Structure 1
Amino acid sequence: MTTIEPVPVVVPQRQGRSVADGLRNALPKIVLAPSFAVILVFVYGFILWTVYLSFTTSRILPVYKWGGFDAYYRLWSQPNWYVAMQNLAIFGVLYIGICIILGLGIAILMDQRIRAEGLLRPIFLYPMALSFVVTGTAWKWFLNPGLGLENTMHNLGWTSFKFDWLVNPKMAIYTVVIAGVWQASGFVMAMFLAGLRGIDGEIIKAAQIDGASTVSIYRRIVIPLLRPVFLSAFIVLAHMAIKSYDLVIALTGGGPGNATELPSTFMYSYTFTRNQMNVGSASAVMMLMGITAIIVPYLYSELRERKQ
């Protein structure tokens, strides 16, 4: 008996359909191409240009004559650069530490399902919607001894009250910390609150059944589980602390004297005021190296966890 094998029928695809599929697949690339080109030129291109300028003899205008490491030698011989680095250390440690502690504390309180959460959450997040210029200007008015808090207390009869940190060279850097913490702590709170809401409730219930106290649950279970949030908050805050410029300019202008000068204000003054573009570019490169030293280990750890 002879069996007849079925012959497969090949239906030719329509040319129009293949063209449409090709356009559909290429559409995301076409849409993203202009943005990618702009970022490539105006971000990474100018980063490379700044790095090159730091090795030239540029002054008031870019000069492409090779100068070697002369700009870096001059940078590290400037007393103002060491003042800026010291201020950055004070500002960065206090800014990051207080924001994380305050943000975590507020997030834990908000996680108790309080009735006014829907009202309080936007209030805490509102400062982050403001620009650093607005924040600096508002706190400049508030901390001005002749206009803000001190003057108000004097008008109320408390004539012995004194809060002159804004004009005190030894305390001025702490006013920058106050303004920065006020703006960023709500954002950190939102990050921790999202992390708290993502923790499996069964783990906490099991700990409560075992007799663990609330403090022990947060100290031994909840806070260790928030390690990725701690790392993300640190990366964001460190990045903001290193590049802080508009907040300082709006609040103190880098003064009194150079009491609140940071690497970002140093870079601007040496590039556009003192006409030493190569030294300013060298300070920008040092800031870039600082940010890179923070972000690269973070990206490496994230990629390593994904592979595992």
Structure 2
Amino acid sequence: MQKPISLKDRLAAWLPQLVLTPSILAVFVGVYLFIAWTAVISFSSSKMLPRYDFVGLEQYIRLWSTPRWITAVENLFLFTVLFLAITIAVGLFMAILLDQKVRAEGVLRAVYLYPMALSFIVTGTAWKWILNPSLGIQKVVNDLGWHSFVFDWITRPEFAIYCVVIAAVWQSTGFAMAIFLAGLRGIDNSIIKAAQIEGASLTRIYLSIIVPMLRPAFLSVIVLLSYISIKSFDLVLALTNAGPGSATEMPSTFMFSATFRRNQMGVGAASAMMMLMTVAAIIIPYLYSELKEDRNGH
């Protein structure tokens, strides 16, 4: 005869669900419900306050006919390309150097990773001082006697976006280095030794064997850094406040300005949905490739 299930056993079986339910509800309400609400607002005529009428694609048409939004998209493209290229290149180079079993590797790794522990607000504020011509690099070099040295990019609209790139690269390179280093440490040393026996140089081994084997690490770094670049609101706000003028405007700062400063809630919601679609265009193919590899592996 089957023994009846006690109340204690029932509680033990349901305990994981009970513990996870508040978190699931919070994520559902705080993320997915508000995403749906933003989508609804983007199809309405909302301005200072939300309205729930339907105007079709009017807000999206207004968004893409706004020069400031076009500037924000162009800046995002330039920033993302430079940010990813430099961060990946420098991060991979530092990972390869640390993989040579150098002295004080733990100390160097901590130094490289330290900027990632800072918030983008702190990074933006610090680099705003460093790049300020009257406080930072230019003043230090001028005080040392090189009076003709000029480094005023942060005050020049045509160069200000590169200041954002510099600050973002400084903060995120250690993160890329850590992922690449983990990938390098996961490669079997016998592969490298076999290539060396065949007479391959160390440079050829890295370019032809090791770097191609780091494909999962490259995918992870590209996806995560792309996500960071799309939502780079706090860094831009602290470093340049989207200026001079609109020289460093990003979609995230445009969304904030349209919604809370210019009372164009519908346009701001439309820009938020465009950012969401951009993130989805990056994340969905990555998740699909990961799931496909898992199925093939099984």
TM-score (norm 2): 0.97
The residue number in structure 2 matching 1:13 is: 3
Count the aligned residue pairs.
296
The residue number in structure 2 matching 1:89 is: 77
- State which drifts further: 149-158 or 20-29: 20-29
What is the alpha-carbon distance in structure 1 between the residues aligned to residue 113 and residue 140 of structure 2? 27
The residue number in structure 2 matching 1:109 is: 97
The residue number in structure 2 matching 1:272 is: 260
The residue number in structure 1 matching 2:22 is: 34
1:213 aligns with 2:201: yes
The residue correspondences of 1:37-52 to structure 2 (distance < 5 A) are: 37-52=25-40
SS at match of 2:49: coil
Match of 2:123 among 135, 138, 145: 135
What displacement does 1:25 show?
A: 2.3
What displacement does 1:21 show?
A: 3.0
RMSD: 1.0
Question: What code does the residue aligned with 1:13 have?
Answer: K
1:177 aligns with 2:178: no
What is the alpha-carbon distance in structure 2 between the residues aligned to residue 275 and residue 128 of structure 1? 35
The residue number in structure 1 matching 2:239 is: 251
Seq. identity, %: 58
Runs of 5+ unmatched residues, structure 2: none
What displacement does 1:307 show?
A: 0.8
What displacement does 1:24 show?
A: 2.1
What is the alpha-carbon distance in structure 1 between the residues aligned to residue 204 and residue 11 of structure 2? 57
What is the alpha-carbon distance in structure 2 between the residues aligned to residue 70 and residue 262 of structure 1? 22
The residue number in structure 1 matching 2:282 is: 294
The residue number in structure 2 matching 1:78 is: 66
Question: What code does the residue aligned with 2:98 have?
Answer: M
What is the alpha-carbon distance in structure 1 between the residues aligned to residue 227 and residue 288 of structure 2? 17
What is the alpha-carbon distance in structure 2 between the residues aligned to residue 152 and residue 222 of structure 1? 42
Runs of 4+ with >4 A deviation:
none
The residue correspondences of 1:118-133 to structure 2 (distance < 5 A) are: 118-133=106-121
The residue number in structure 2 matching 1:5 is: none
1:283 aligns with 2:271: yes
What displacement does 1:14 show?
A: 6.2
What displacement does 1:153 show?
A: 1.1
Question: What code does the residue aligned with 2:3 have?
Answer: Q
Please give the per-residue CA displacement for 1:145-188, whole angstroms capped at 9, x wherever unaligned.
01111111111111111000000100000000000000000000
The residue number in structure 2 matching 1:149 is: 137
Runs of 5+ unmatched residues, structure 1: 1-9
What is the alpha-carbon distance in structure 2 between the residues aligned to residue 15 and residue 136 of structure 1? 59
What is the alpha-carbon distance in structure 2 between the residues aligned to residue 167 and residue 149 of structure 1? 14
What is the alpha-carbon distance in structure 2 between the residues aligned to residue 247 and residue 104 of structure 1? 24
1:99 aligns with 2:82: no
Match of 2:224 among 225, 233, 236: 236
What is the alpha-carbon distance in structure 1 between the residues aligned to residue 192 and residue 9 of structure 2? 50
What is the alpha-carbon distance in structure 2 between the residues aligned to residue 211 and residue 22 of structure 1? 65
What displacement does 1:15 show?
A: 4.6
Please give the per-residue CA displacement for 1:192-250, whole angstroms capped at 9, x wherever unaligned.
00000001111111111111110111011100100011011000000110111000000
Larger Rg: 1
SS at match of 2:100: coil
What is the alpha-carbon distance in structure 1 between the residues aligned to residue 20 and residue 153 of structure 2? 48
What is the alpha-carbon distance in structure 2 between the residues aligned to residue 129 and residue 15 of structure 1? 49
Please give the per-residue CA displacement for 1:58-105, whole angstroms capped at 9, x wherever unaligned.
000111111111101100110111110110111000001101000000
Question: What code does the residue aligned with 2:167 have?
Answer: A
SS at match of 1:233: helix
The residue number in structure 2 matching 1:4 is: none
What displacement does 1:23 show?
A: 2.1
